[in-house]
Amino acid sequence: MTTELTQEQIDFKAKYELFLAETQLSYAAASKVLDVSQNSLKEWFTVRGGKMRKPAQHILRAVELKIDRLNAANEELGIYDDLYGLSPNDRAAFLRDKLRSHHVSD
């Protein structure tokens, strides 16, 4: 059974799950922010047929970088508080805009 995770995958899984919880994004909305397919997001870390679905290393790193950039902006500016009351599509657009903005992408 291939369900064991590396420490890097364990850390990423915790960060990814916390990001989803803090932003209250659906898989569909999160996929727009993180540039990953919705089906991939749903499947990560699920076990099917004795095998765990894990993100490929290059995808894990790209998604982790985006989450880190958004988390840094949240720590500095409280951007996740600005998500309150927004629709899922507006939340995704807001966070994508923050990723594109000069302040977050530096």
Residue 104 has pLDDT above 60, yes or no: no
pLDDT > 70: percent of the chain:
92
H-assigned helices in 35-87: 38-43, 57-77
pLDDT of 6 above 90: no
Mean pLDDT across the stretch 10-25?
91
Global pTM reads: 0.84
Question: Do 40 and 16 form a contact (C-beta atoms < 8 A)?
Answer: no
d(CA 100, CA 73): 12
Q: What percent of the chain has pLDDT over 90?
A: 51
Direct distance between the N- and C-terminal alpha carbons of the chain, in angstroms, rounded to an integer: 42
Token pair in block for residue 60: 């894990």
* Closest by Cα among 44, 94, 90 to 64: 44
- CA 75 – CA 70 distance, rounded (Å): 9
Torsion, CA 18, CA 22, CA 23, CA 27, rounded to 10 = 40
Tens of pLDDT, residue by residue over 52-74, are: 788 888 888 999 999 999 999 99
User: pLDDT band for position 13 (50/70/90)?
Assistant: confident
